[in-house]
Structure 1
């Protein structure tokens, strides 16, 4: 929820014009909170209401030059469907892309692609309980692109035609989406809603609708829902980006001013009144579910518009949640704790209710003990409140987060702003700036005391409930719903002791010896960065950007990564995907102690192993950069690998494997690298049994070895200059002892090979009987040996995706267009693949393979047309433009560029290379690489009935 400041009830940011009404409380349709509030509003935003009742917000933002984001919000969703319409709201978001007044069937995608705009159902449209949102991102703000954006939004609002020819296909797509999303957690959620909000409409309304209604409801009923709810007084258009507000406002009036509702009124569905139900229990068990305890307090949905009191309460809630989460994490980290993870979160259910829930994952076999501890921790906090140390840390962290956002205010993204503005209507909050947040926080600070936090928590625990939920793969002996209620009643009477109030430990890693400066500085003007070299061999790339104010991202890369490991010798690298190096702590400080010592500091620490490096990652604000580098240096040299943390991780492993195996996509994701890397042991997943017996010494040994005895390259990107970064670098990594110029190699470490035999694999999942997935992958090549080839393969993948869409999605029984993708290694020479993956019904795999290979043959015999290549090229160029506007792009690009001419050449020429590819080159690449005899085919099917095999 946002906080805000400005003068309520005024026309903000513009003169009142003849074509729009003044904003006043009491008007029908969407309401802006600041009209009803004692809070001021962001003066940059221009709000308006057309004479027909349609509302809009225009927010100029030049952070991303030329870019414009549009959101069309219709105030109708799942809760507006009648019983016989369940699923219609979602179906309409698919039909919206299948034919409209300006774009006959199929034309919309082609037109958007020509302008580099990718849009589609499930990507740019979403339905929730009380609203439907369409979104489009325009890569440019020229006249033609803006006209396209307005025309698309206009057609979504009142120009859909619902062509008969597309209706059955879209029905099938929605139903298959239902099938593929029908997983244990989703079924639990539907059942939980029925218990939590029994007697209200949400409890009886399936989120995705009812299958038979989607399949068979008459076209006239779909059109009737559209005509009833897609109307001016329920619609808000949000436009954020590099725009002239006055011109956009005039265009908006021209486009939407003549729109009239097609029905006199719309049906009003009663969402039902929230009723208190008291303490109660809910259980749900199904194979594939992790074991989780959830203790939730509920209250009626907040219908007041945000005001000063609500902002104060929101801030207190944030402080309470932060303090509670820190306490829960400390409890979970204790060696004898029966819980592996614990947290508290809040939830909002449109028109229905709000929640605050304690999430607890028990250790296997300790469910009752975990529940007892969770209740004790909650009651202890409620009775004794928070300690002074907990309060001070929560307040420091919260204030630091507000200041961080304020410092980055000038570079907020269009997407973030559009989501914030659109969300304000249902959320009933006043739109504001981060600077206003800070000012308001300062004005409220005297009220945000420890006593106020304690009082707020007491009030939270007086809400309806708790609803105590226990879910898992199988019932837990002695813990059915009745037993849980009895157990809770007993626990509620138990005597409590106050928590310990321990002082925070001082940060112990601020001195690494005498600082050492670099011995060489080189400026790369083409890529606009500076490269430092230290006497110990450490190299540093520093690129100053203003892409995101007050953000600095850092990687510390020890060369080698997977290349230092044998592709044949078994190694548990897979386990690193689950291991958080930070949680293992430092020799002198535990993870909890580090967090406590860093109260008010924005920092981050993570570790991962890539093909060519072991990487420590950090992210901080500019002023916290010194501490961020100290954290990175400390974990590079002094990570503790607390055995208790690995034990906690090990307890979560059964839930991971169980849940992963409940869907075809989960199974494929687990095994795909192993298959395409020809059973390379470095990317082979551990079995559940091997994971649970993995020793702490083995895992610590892998991480330590990956960081040691290798060259170190640091890359720093963001709002920081070389002079600002130097002192922290000199005092941390500049003090390392002399590093080797290279690392020890192993046989085969620098190689990866696509399989040449066993080119058909069948895997099995334990999910729904109607769920299956197919993949086909062709071996290609790497990214940097020939950048021209790599870019050509990118375009070939786009052309294949476009052609498959044109061929029609329903022909193979697939659910979505199989988006082809080109994956070219930046590390292993000659390795890459072009693949396509698609969800199907079991039994449809032969039809898919036949049609897809026929399509591939078509590219070989008929090169892409000028229009196909234009569309493919524009999509790639738009993505490239988006990527280069992020610090993360440069953080990934710069490491190694100084020593790899192909990499540097690719970085400098990528745009020109994309623009230079010809249709004949795409055709030649298809002939060269897309050989069906060399393709790997993977089929993921449901486990046959009566069997229990695992992939």
Structure 2
């Protein structure tokens, strides 16, 4: 059901299945018994086995061969479509000789079929405007494989091509021996790049939790020995068993005629023959009770975490009203408990930095309830005692009425928001929700149905009914006590078990009730008047200037109902900071302004006082500005503006919040050091900027030495002194936007027209010396990141040149995929990009990056050098230019139909109108790039003698 999946996103309520609670008979007037899912008969829609009706706007169908399909007309964004092809087979369905082949087979879908030569599928898609990764992708999980196409255009040829390629994947793959062998290196590269201490810990935990079941030994990446040696017949066996029509669902959502789409599907997929062999039914293994157990795992690079997991055998049934209600109430229960744990974590004396509860199904394995705890450094035992005592308190005494009222208010707001935005839901998200509904055996319902469901259920959600279902959440087998980290300290398995037994026997008192404080930030004073108003008719926006210096851009759109984005831009950003002063930019960037609270309310009190409101606060420090951002709807727009104004003028920067952030830092740095990508995050940005302190991530010791006052001084100066510009985009009238600006930011004191830029503020350089940099990581010995960057240029000085360099980077990415990935098998996902600064004159760079084996670093460098030499010596083909350009151009057309694009493009345009011209000219400039331009730019900028070469290799093991 769409409602439940969306709740997961909005409130972090997990997808739930237990029905062990006091029934609410007033809702289910004629309950229908839950029907078991029987995969031996093929896939079917949940509504065919349920008393819940599906969304009437969605067309559900099944071909005579057993393939199910789902069609939904949707025009957000206009002129686009999303296609998904789901197979009901993942790593859990592999036999012992196929471990990793479900995922390997996903790769083979792009490596040749009956009507598409090896290597041509991606090229065909690129010619239709789809870029590999962003618009063309696939994923393999424990119990499904899903192929994804997001079409930027819905012309007949685009739709036909998308369906044709899905049909090729479904039943026509070549699975050529040579293609399989060529892809092995790519798969091994993906396995190598994705390996981490966290994955090792998860494998150990799943074995402890589900020993004897397939889940414990079937990670989708598989086993390297099988990836290296599996013969074609093992691929064919899996392909024939699970890539069959009765195991497939095609989902198509977009701006097209549903009748015509259904005819296309029937024409394209009806000839897909059902195999004579019966559907293979997998034995996933039955959950075996283990009682209370304690296990642990230590490895360098792991963050410290404690968990308690209660498990019970899974019952896989289609969703019906009784199950839906049980799941929904369990969601309310976990939400209330998570609110308690979050509130406790924010108190200065609490020994854990974070804790949360989740209740969910593990694919075909078990239904679990899990408490996760992130202790403050060295306080594992105390953290467990505090968090589990809170859980026991909740089990014994339940929620109070105020908690239930707050949670119901937030939930009702969510349903209302979904209902008001029902007509402009995103096609991609809808396609993914429909796929999820098939995977979970749920009925896909409309926002109107969800709203009606909640309104009907709400009167019967009493405190007694809610509290009666708390204990069953924790009634499963176990718990399994689990401790993972870089070290176990003095809290090993025995200590954990002993502490659990002590807490289990201790008496607990009821939680203290809390009272909401009223929201106090409603009156900010007398507003300044508008002294200038300008309509920019071709872009559909209005720009205002107030007497106090505040500027605003307002753009009303109809892209998405009930969605408004607000950006408050404080000019200056990093350019207003002197590198000589070594400002604590990183610490300020990762600090959470909202967690620091306001002068009149703590972070928890803000949340309580604004119960039922939709608002957000995000802080970002960019090159040319520091921004506060928020997202809301027309109903709560005034509140959102008040919140942003309150944080501008009265942010509290609570020392407790910064101290809590610091408690995560040791584990965070340990994790970064354990992977090549993490080390690049720590050192790469600084290296590419000649170690400018504004872009340098501090050492762990330096971060921990940064004070709350340092962070406050940096942020407060920008929020309280720099020029202010507000950008409002979305479903809001100009009059209402102006009215709320008048009540908030127009009341600020006079601000300068321009930010104060220090003498060295605009100085930023690509390095010219020490161009070969080597860093070390503490992770797996065969992991290496190889990075090459060439000095580029800024954006403002020549926008056409900057666009051309971006197209050159796209061409370089195509070559990297063809040569480094496909031909040489050196890396799973090499790519290139172009970065140009719109703030620092002359600064920019092109880069090419890949994760390879350490011994292949030179081979990668040589491959890139060969690509560069060829780009300089020979013009690219017209087809290659098309495949580089078209995805960019089509994505731009789609961008113009989204609030996200305008919210990012418009800030700064009131003081620099060139930014509006950049919107007007960008498509024409990208389209104007020629084959000759690519060769010229390659010769001008891809100089291997000026390139910076960064290698992040494994640390040398100390001699024994």
Structure 1 length as normaliser, TM-score? 0.95
Q: Which moved more, 1:484-493 or 1:377-386?
A: 484-493
Question: What SS does structure 2 have at the residue aligned with 1:708?
Answer: helix
Report the CA distance shift for 1:345/1:516 in structure 2 as closer, same or farther (over 3 A).
Answer: farther
Deviation by residue 1:624-648 (Cα, 9 ceiling, x = unmatched)? 0100011111110101111111111
Q: For 1:826 and 1:321, how far apart are their aligned partners in 2?
A: 46
1:449 to 462, 478, 497: 462
Give the C-alpha shift of residue 519 in structure 1.
2.5
Residues 762-801 of structure 1 aligned to structure 2 (within 5 Å): 762-801=774-813
Distance 1:36 1:418, change over 3 A: same
Task: Report the equivalent of 1:915.
Answer: 927
Q: Secondary structure at the match of 1:346?
A: strand
Counterpart for residue 16 of structure 1: none
- Shift of the alpha carbon at 1:274? 2.2
Report the Cα distance in structure 2 between the residues aligned to 1:145 and 1:811, rounded to whole angstroms: 29
Q: Distance in 2 between matches of 1:816 and 1:198?
A: 32
Question: How many angstroms apart in 1 are the aligned matches of 2:946 and 2:209?
Answer: 54
Q: Which has the higher contact order (CA 8 A, sep 6+)?
A: 2
Give 1:233 shift.
0.8
CA distance in 1, matches of 2:574, 2:3: 46
Residue 901 (structure 2) aligns with: 889
Count of residues paired in the alignment: 929
Aligned partners of 2:152 and 2:891 also within 8 Å? no
Indicate how the Cα distance of structure 1 residues 91 and 277 shifts in structure 2: closer, same or farther if over 3 A, else same.
Answer: same
2 CA distance for matches of 1:35 and 1:869? 49
Give the alignment partner of residue 483 of structure 2, picking from 470, 480, 497: 470
2:557 maps to 545
Counterpart residue number, 1:521:
533
User: Is residue 99 from structure 1 mapped to residue 112 from structure 2 by the alignment?
Assistant: yes
Structure-1 separation of matches of 2:472 and 2:551: 55
Q: Which of 375, 396, 401 does residue 362 from structure 1 map onto? A: 375
For the Cα contact (< 8 Å) 2:182–2:825, is it kept in 1?
no
- Do the aligned residues in 1 keep the contact of 2:563 with 2:632 (CA within 8 Å)? yes
Report the counterpart of residue 383 of structure 1 in structure 2.
396
Partner of 2:744: 732
Tell me, in whole angstroms, the C-alpha distance in 1 between the residues paired with 2:893 and 2:463: 47
Residue 614 of structure 1: how far off its partner (Å): 1.3
SS in 2 for 1:124: strand
What does 1:785-864 correspond to in 2, within 5 Å? 785-807=797-819, 809=821, 814-864=826-876
1:734-777 deviation line (CA, Å, top 9, x unaligned): 11111122232212101211111111100111110010011111
Residue pairs, 1:235-634, within 5 angstroms: 235-477=248-490, 479-634=491-646
Partner of 2:166: 153
Change (3 A) 1:357 1:659: same
- Structure 1 residue 817 displacement after superposition: 4.5
Give the conservation status (yes or no) of the 8 Å contact 1:4–1:431: no
Which piece of structure 1 moves more, 540-549 or 307-316?
307-316
1:812 Cα deviation after fit: 5.0
Aligned counterpart, 1:20: none
Map of 1:668 onto structure 2 = 680
Unaligned stretches of 5+ residues in structure 2: 6-36
Q: CA deviation at 1:453?
A: 2.1
The Cα shift of 1:282 comes to 2.2
Q: Give the whole-Å Cα distance in 2 for the aligned partners of 1:307 and 1:708.
A: 55
Deviation at 1:821? 0.6
How many angstroms apart in 2 are the aligned matches of 1:25 and 1:853?
Answer: 56
- Tell me the alpha carbon deviations over residues 556-600 of structure 1, each in whole angstroms, 9 at most, x when there is no partner: 111111111112332211112321000000111000000000000
- Distance in 1 separating the partners of 2:857 and 2:257: 51
> Does 2:665 match 1:653?
yes
Q: What SS is found at the alignment partner of 2:855? A: coil
Cα separation, 1, equivalents of 2:256 and 2:4: 23
Question: Is residue 50–residue 257 contact of structure 1 (8 Å, CA) maintained in 2?
Answer: yes
Structure 2 counterpart of 1:2: 2
In the alignment, is the contact (CA less than 8 A) between 2:531 and 2:547 conserved in 1?
A: yes
Residue 932, structure 1, aligned to residue 944, structure 2 = yes
Partners of 1:765 and 1:747 in 2: CA distance = 37
Shift in Å, 1:684: 0.7
Deviation of 1:527 after TM superposition, in Å, equals 2.0
Shift of residue 354, structure 1, vs aligned partner: 2.6
Are 1:4 and 1:433, in contact at CA under 8 Å, matched by a contact in 2? no
Q: Provide the rounded CA distance (Å) in 2 between the counterparts of 1:395 and 1:4.
A: 15
> Matches of 1:510 and 1:561 in 2, distance apart?
28
Cα distance between partner residues in 2 of 1:139 and 1:122: 9
Deviation at 1:813, TM superposition (A): 5.1
Alpha-carbon distance change, 261 to 180 in structure 1, aligned in 2, over 3 angstroms: same
CA distance in 2, matches of 1:527, 1:750: 31
Could you list the structure 1 runs, at least 4 aligned residues long, displaced by more than 4 angstroms after superposition: 24-27, 120-123, 810-813
Does structure 2 conserve the Cα–Cα contact (< 8 Å) formed by 1:78 and 1:127?
Answer: yes
Report SS of the residue matched to 1:126.
strand
Aligned counterpart in structure 2 of residue 757 of structure 1, from 769, 778, 801: 769
1:748 paired residue among 760, 766, 773: 760
Matches within 5 A, 1:200-239: 200-239=213-252
Equivalent residue of 2:517, what SS? coil
**Rounded Cα–Cα distance in structure 2 between residues aligned with 1:101 and 1:850:** 35
- Match of residue 31 from structure 2: none
Maintained 8 Å contact 1:105/1:163: no
CA contact (8 A) 1:73 1:237 kept: yes
Match of 1:83 in 2: 96
Q: Which residue of structure 1 lines up, in the alignment, with residue 64 of structure 2?
A: 51
Task: Tell me the residue number matched to 2:122.
Answer: 109
Q: With structure 2 as the length reference, what TM-score do the two structures score?
A: 0.94
Contact 2:297 2:485 in 1 (8 A): yes
CA–CA distance in structure 2, aligned partners of residues 760 and 27 of structure 1: 59
2:885: which partner in 1? 873
* C-alpha distance in 2 between matches for 1:179 and 1:354: 31
Which stretches in structure 1 are left out of the alignment for 5+ residues? 6-23
Structure 1 contact 607–617 (Cα < 8 Å) conserved: yes
- 1:198-224 per-residue CA deviation (whole Å, 9 max, x = no partner) reads 221111323311111111011122112
Paired with 2:791 and 2:802, the residues of 1 have a C-alpha distance of 12
Q: After TM superposition, give the deviation of residue 90 of structure 1 in Å.
A: 0.7
- Contact 1:526/1:908 (8 A) holds in 2: no
* Structure 1 stretch displaced more, 574-583 or 369-378: 574-583
Residue 699 of structure 1: SS of its match in structure 2?
A: helix
1:164-198 CA distances to partner (integer Å, 9 max, x unpaired)? Answer: 22212211211221122110111111111111112
Contact conserved, 1:516 with 1:731, CA < 8 A, in 2? no
Distance 1:425 1:200 in 2: 23
Partner residue in 2 for 1:703: 715
**Alpha-carbon distance between aligned partners in 2 of 1:302 and 1:526, rounded to the nearest angstrom:** 58
- CA drift of 1:344 comes to 2.0
Deviation at 1:443, TM superposition (A): 0.6
Is the partner of 1:844 in helix, strand or coil?
Answer: helix
Task: Name the SS for the 2:785 alignment partner.
Answer: strand
